[in-house]
Amino acid sequence: MQTKYNIVKQAIKSKILDGTFQPHQKISSESELMKQFGVSRHTVRLAVGDLVNNGWLYREQGAGTFCADRTQENNNTSVGNQKNIAIITTYISDYIFPSIIRGAETYLSQQGYHVSLFSTNNDHDNERRFLEKILTQHFDGVIIEPTKSAISNPNINYYLNLERQNIPYIMINAYYDELEPLSITLDDEKGGFLQTEHLIELGHKDILGFFKNDDSQGPKRMKGYLKAHRAHGIDINPSNIVTYKTEDKYDKPVSDLAAILDGPEGKRPTAIACYNDELTIALLDVIRERELNIPKDISIIGFDNSFLTNVSEVKLTSIKHPQSEMGEVAAQKMLSMVSNKHSNGKSNKNDLTSVVFDPELVVRSSTGLPKNK
Amino acid sequence: MQTKYNIVKQAIKSKILDGTFQPHQKISSESELMKQFGVSRHTVRLAVGDLVNNGWLYREQGAGTFCADRTQENNNTSVGNQKNIAIITTYISDYIFPSIIRGAETYLSQQGYHVSLFSTNNDHDNERRFLEKILTQHFDGVIIEPTKSAISNPNINYYLNLERQNIPYIMINAYYDELEPLSITLDDEKGGFLQTEHLIELGHKDILGFFKNDDSQGPKRMKGYLKAHRAHGIDINPSNIVTYKTEDKYDKPVSDLAAILDGPEGKRPTAIACYNDELTIALLDVIRERELNIPKDISIIGFDNSFLTNVSEVKLTSIKHPQSEMGEVAAQKMLSMVSNKHSNGKSNKNDLTSVVFDPELVVRSSTGLPKNK
DNA sequence: CTAATTAATTTGTTCATATAAGTTATTCTA
DNA sequence: TAGAATAACTTATATGAACAAATTAATTAG
């Protein structure tokens, strides 16, 4: 798959799909491409030749190579009257994503739509691949959970091209600030606030916070954590905040917590606020190994109120995430955008506004009064 | 028209049109063509490459270049662009299904296929609806996890119609006996056997077994449970076997176990073999409520070796299910069936046989020696 | 200023060479 | 005799070089 000519081919294709090359615009000459990619002319010709054969480009001897106009052609490759909606999420198989997807899938399916699922595994390259597919083939709309939403996105041009091609999209869980899309989210800041406030109201003052930092939910939940401290006039110990990237989620938080628990006992925090339930379950093992009792020795609170709150001997206090409801609302909005497109403008204003779900605290047995109180 | 590669091209085309080259017949190799026409390899490749692009020939690396079958050409070209595969499972969002689906989805996606997901929620009516959709709209193939595979299926005719319409399908996890389809399964009987044998070898003789009875995996796992008893000369107490339907999975096993544990202490079983990890996690709570220690007071073993083995304070001994690997293998087989259909008959025999995965025992801390041994 | 010529650029065709990777048939081995 | 190892063959990818043919821009001649 990673042949040189394929790399060149994909690079050119990307520039067509993200709108850098407009129809009938001249693209770089063969010698320029040779320099750009450091390959031989033959390799360039292979790449361009393939794209010509597939209708992406056309060549004119002596003049150059040009971007083809695919606007009419798309009709042919489209699936006719088939109704397709794509759902792109970071994961389809882990944690609460299945629930979110089910909510959307059930609704769309009932309305007679085909649902195609793609998971990016939190990788921008995959996200780009899927956006290319959606731009190339016929889709009526896309429900997207952004990949690494806290980091600036290299595929912004693809989203803009979706707008140009009049393909509606909705973002769920998070959104890219640059785009200001229609979005269905949870009020993560308030969720973080509720989480921490719950612990503070129980009497905790030394609260460890674990937050992911490469999606936009993490920083927002952390903001809520900080706000709750300020609102209750409690000083924040900077060393009580641990952040981690998605790639490190299985190691860093666990080893960091271990280090803290093995540190001087006096400085040991009495409670932990976690980015989500998945992390909470992982941290439980660290606490168990040290034979600390939950919640007597230490309180811990999750986020998302997933099925994981219920699988362990300690039932987790958590913050309710709408999950399948979020998926369903996204699906409903999507379909009203689709029908809007067809009925050209007649808009139910209600349907075209973003939704922010209100988080709720769900108290179970993992949180309690601090020990020395 | 005077170019060398064009002369070669026309010559080959003539031989196809006058019947010298029949569909799927190997044409002269590149080196032979070089000699025949006295041109360079590159020129030959240009000529052949053009014919491949226009659907006259197809190449197979290592094997040769072959004459394409253009009889159904109209269908093939319009169909070739779309590349749709459907995956129908009972659930898309629960338990190990997401992993299975991910395995298939990742592979199919890489190969440029659209993946459409449908979940029947274990309901035959939904299954029928989706099969209708697949029969009416264009799909290249279907990967199906049967709904209620132990019960006779009212949609058999739809499956037969798939065969009639030459739409390949593969069944995963289980299959309907009446159809004898290509299937990718786990050796459930052996899995059940390993489960129970492990407990017997630890010294347990009074082993409670919980098995689902409306899919075909349940009875097979139960058969393994029985076989293990016989193989080790241990009597089976009929009241030690609990079966349940999918609809009752949240209630019946839990209440049945509660009743047994609250019964006379002497007759209390020392070990439990469970249909899957999901059930095991549910039963853990019943055991915890009675303050019994696992594995000292009672051993418990799961099935599927899912992520659930690791979420509780007790790490579950379980039986390994291939999960994402199963999905990937199913996807690979599916695509070789699809390409077989197009190249009409030329079969890689290896690709067209069912696969039965071998289960493995994974020992963790939920099983141990019986108390009074 | 216009038209013809020329130079530079760009794609089109062809050759020679080399290594990689997959398939098939044969040989060798246990 | 079954299965592993190998050799021979086939297509796949890649580089370098050369000349042809068409277009475009710049220059020159009228």
pLDDT in tens, B206-248: 999 999 998 889 999 999 999 999 999 999 999 999 999 988 9
User: Could you tell me if A127 and A205 lie in one domain?
Assistant: no
Distance from CA of B269 to the nearest CA of A (A): 22
Q: At what angle do helices B41-53 and B4-17 cross, to 10 degrees?
A: 50
Give the CA B63 to C1' C27 distance in Å.
Answer: 21
User: Could you tell me if A180 and A244 lie in one domain?
Assistant: no
Sign of CA dihedral A97, A279, A314, A358: negative
Give the CA A3 to C1' C19 distance in Å.
Answer: 14
Around Cβ B321, how many Cβ atoms within 10 Å?
24
Predicted local distance difference test score (pLDDT) of residue B367:
96
H or E stretch covering A372: none
User: Could you tell me if A192 and A296 lie in one domain?
Assistant: yes
Distances in Å between the Cα of A48 and the Cα atoms of A7, A28, B56, B77 are 11, 11, 21, 22
User: Could you tell me if B224 and B289 lie in one domain?
Assistant: yes
Predicted local distance difference test score (pLDDT) of residue A81:
53
Q: Is the CB of A29 under 7 A from strand C?
A: yes
User: Could you tell me if A345 and A305 lie in one domain?
Assistant: no
Give chain B positions within 8 Å (CB) of A101.
92-93
User: B372 in a domain, yes or no?
Assistant: no
Give the CA A2 to C1' C21 distance in Å.
Answer: 14
Residue B101 sits at the vertex; the CA angle it makes with B100 and B102, to the nearest 5 degrees, is 95
Q: Is the CB of A64 under 7 A from strand C?
A: yes
User: B371 in a domain, yes or no?
Assistant: no
3-state SS of A304-344 is ECCHHHHCCCCCCEEEECCCHHHHHHHHHHHHHHHHHHHCC
User: A348 in a domain, yes or no?
Assistant: yes
Residue A315 sits at the vertex; the CA angle it makes with A313 and A316, to the nearest 5 degrees, is 135
Give chain A positions within 8 Å (CB) of B117.
105, 115-117
Strand A360-362 to strand A318-320: parallel, antiparallel, or no bridges (unpaired)?
antiparallel
- Helix, strand, coil percent values for chain A (each to nearest 5): 45, 15, 40
Predicted local distance difference test score (pLDDT) of residue B350:
47
pLDDT in tens, B25-56: 888 888 888 888 888 888 898 898 888 888 88
Average pLDDT, chain A: 87
Question: How many Cβ pairs closer than 8 A exist between chain A and B?
Answer: 78
Distance from CA of B93 to the nearest CA of A (A): 4
Q: Is the CB of A59 under 7 A from strand C?
A: yes
User: A202 in a domain, yes or no?
Assistant: yes
Helix (H, G, I), strand (E, B) or coil at A231: helix
A77 and A54 in contact (C-beta within 8 Å)? Answer: no
Around Cβ A3, how many Cβ atoms within 10 Å?
11
User: Could you tell me if B123 and B163 lie in one domain?
Assistant: yes
pLDDT in tens, B305-361: 998 999 999 999 999 998 888 888 898 888 888 776 655 444 444 456 788 889 999
Distance from CA of B305 to the nearest CA of A (A): 15
B373: confidence class by pLDDT, cuts 50, 70, 90: very low
Predicted local distance difference test score (pLDDT) of residue B71:
62
Q: How many domains does chain A have?
A: 3
Residues 39-98, chain A, touching B (beta carbon < 8 A): 49, 53, 77, 79, 82, 92-94, 97-98
- Selected residue with higher pLDDT from B61 and B203: B203
Looking at strand D, which nucleotides approach a protein CB closer than 7 A? 9-18, 21-24
Q: Exposure of A45 by Cβ count < 10 A (0-12 exposed, 13-18 middle, 19+ buried)?
A: middle
pLDDT digit of tens for each residue in chain A (373 aa)?
578 898 898 888 888 888 888 888 888 888 889 988 988 889 999 999 889 888 889 898 888 899 888 765 444 444 445 678 999 988 766 778 878 888 898 888 778 787 887 878 778 888 888 888 888 878 899 999 988 887 778 888 889 888 888 899 999 998 888 888 999 999 999 999 999 999 999 999 999 999 999 888 999 999 999 999 999 999 999 999 999 998 898 899 999 999 999 988 777 899 999 999 999 999 999 999 999 999 999 999 999 999 899 989 999 999 999 998 999 999 999 998 888 776 655 455 556 789 999 999 999 999 999 986 4
B284 and B300 in contact (C-beta within 8 Å)? Answer: yes
Q: Is the CB of B1 under 7 A from strand D?
A: no
User: A269 in a domain, yes or no?
Assistant: yes
User: Could you tell me if A59 and A133 lie in one domain?
Assistant: no
Mutate to test the interface with B, among A6, A53, A129, A311 (most CBs of B within 10 A): A311
The letter for the amino acid at A250 is: Y
- Can you point out the beta strands (E) in chain B? 57-60, 64-67, 84-89, 114-119, 141-144, 169-172, 182-186, 207-212, 241-244, 271-274, 299-301, 318-319, 355-357, 361-362
Q: Which of A105, A311, A313 sits opposite B117 (nearest CB)?
A: A105
Mutate to test the interface with B, among A48, A93, A283, A291 (most CBs of B within 10 A): A93
Domain that holds residue B268: 188-321
pLDDT in tens, B351-365: 567 888 899 999 999
Rg (alpha carbons) of chain A, rounded to whole number: 25
User: A174 in a domain, yes or no?
Assistant: yes
H or E stretch covering B365: none
- How crowded is the C-beta side of B122, counted as CA atoms within 13 Å? 16
Cα–chain center distance at A160:
18
User: Could you tell me if A89 and A163 lie in one domain?
Assistant: yes
B73: confidence class by pLDDT, cuts 50, 70, 90: very low
Residue whose entry in the numeric block shows the structure tokens 């010509």: A52
Predicted local distance difference test score (pLDDT) of residue B21:
81
Predicted local distance difference test score (pLDDT) of residue B35:
84
pLDDT over 60 (residue B150):
yes
Q: By percentage, how much of chain B surpasses pLDDT 70?
A: 90
Q: What are B276's two structure tokens? A: 């899957």
Read off the DSSP letter of residue A359: P
User: B251 in a domain, yes or no?
Assistant: yes
User: Could you tell me if B198 and B310 lie in one domain?
Assistant: yes
B92/A98 CB distance under 8 A: yes
Chain A CA closest to residue B289 = A313
Chain A CA closest to residue B323 = A93
For residues B135 and B127, give the distance between their C-alpha atoms in angstroms, rounded to a whole number: 12
A93/B99 CB distance under 8 A: yes
Predicted local distance difference test score (pLDDT) of residue B229:
96
Distances in Å between the Cα of A337 and the Cα atoms of A167, B56, B201, B249, B343 are 9, 44, 62, 39, 42
Region label for B152, one of left (φ > 0), alpha (ψ between -120 and 50) or beta (otherwise): beta
Residue among B173, B91, B247, B280 at smallest CA distance from A99: B91
- B58 closest-nt by C1' vs CA: D11
| A287 and B CB contact within 8 Å | no
CATH number for the domain that contains residue B119? 3.40.50.2300
pLDDT over 80 (residue B82):
no
The backbone torsions φ and ψ at residue A6, rounded to the nearest 5 degrees and listed phi first, read: -70, -35
> pTM score, two decimals?
0.76
Contacts of A237 (CB under 8 A, 6+ apart): A206
Last residue of a domain, one of B47, B69, B91: B69
Q: What are B242's two structure tokens? A: 């609990």
The letter for the amino acid at B348 is: N
Region label for A64, one of left (φ > 0), alpha (ψ between -120 and 50) or beta (otherwise): left
CATH number for the domain that contains residue A46? 1.10.10.10
Q: Is the CB of A40 under 7 A from strand D?
A: yes
Give chain A positions within 8 Å (CB) of B98.
92-94, 97-98
For residues A305 and A317, give the distance between their C-alpha atoms in angstroms, rounded to a whole number: 8
For residues B319 and A231, give the distance between their C-alpha atoms in angstroms, rounded to a whole number: 51
User: Could you tell me if B248 and B181 lie in one domain?
Assistant: no
Predicted local distance difference test score (pLDDT) of residue A350:
57
B189 and B179 in contact (C-beta within 8 Å)? Answer: no
Distance from CA of B307 to the nearest CA of A (A): 10
pLDDT in tens, A162-192: 888 889 999 999 888 888 899 999 999 999 9
Q: What b/e string do you get for A186-221 counting C-beta neighbours within 10 Å, with b at 16 or more?
A: bebbbbbbbbbbbbbebebbebbbbbbbbbbbbbbb
Residue whose entry in the numeric block shows the structure tokens 């199963």: B326
- Can you point out the beta strands (E) in chain A? 57-60, 64-67, 84-89, 114-119, 141-144, 169-172, 182-186, 207-212, 241-244, 271-273, 299-301, 318-320, 355-357, 360-362
User: A150 in a domain, yes or no?
Assistant: yes
Distance from CA of B279 to the nearest CA of A (A): 11
For residues A85 and A143, give the distance between their C-alpha atoms in angstroms, rounded to a whole number: 8
For residues B273 and B293, give the distance between their C-alpha atoms in angstroms, rounded to a whole number: 16
Chain A CA closest to residue B112 = A133
The mean pLDDT value for B72-98 works out to: 64
Distance from the first to the final alpha carbon of chain A: 62
Give the CA B62 to C1' D4 distance in Å.
Answer: 20
Give chain B positions within 8 Å (CB) of A115.
116-118
Can you list the pairs that A18-23 forms with residues at least 24 positions away whose Cβ atoms lie under 8 Å?
A: A18/A155, A18/A157, A18/A158, A18/A160, A18/A161, A19/A157, A19/A160, A19/A161, A19/A164, A20/A157, A21/A67, A22/A67, A23/A67, A23/A68, A23/A69, A23/A70, A23/A71
Distances in Å between the Cα of A329 and the Cα atoms of A187, A324, A332, A352, B261 are 15, 9, 5, 12, 44
B95: confidence class by pLDDT, cuts 50, 70, 90: confident
The letter for the amino acid at B62 is: G
User: Could you tell me if A261 and A155 lie in one domain?
Assistant: no
Give the CA A2 to C1' D16 distance in Å.
Answer: 22
User: Could you tell me if A313 and A203 lie in one domain?
Assistant: yes
Residue among B147, B103, B99 at smallest CA distance from B121: B147
The letter for the amino acid at A251 is: D
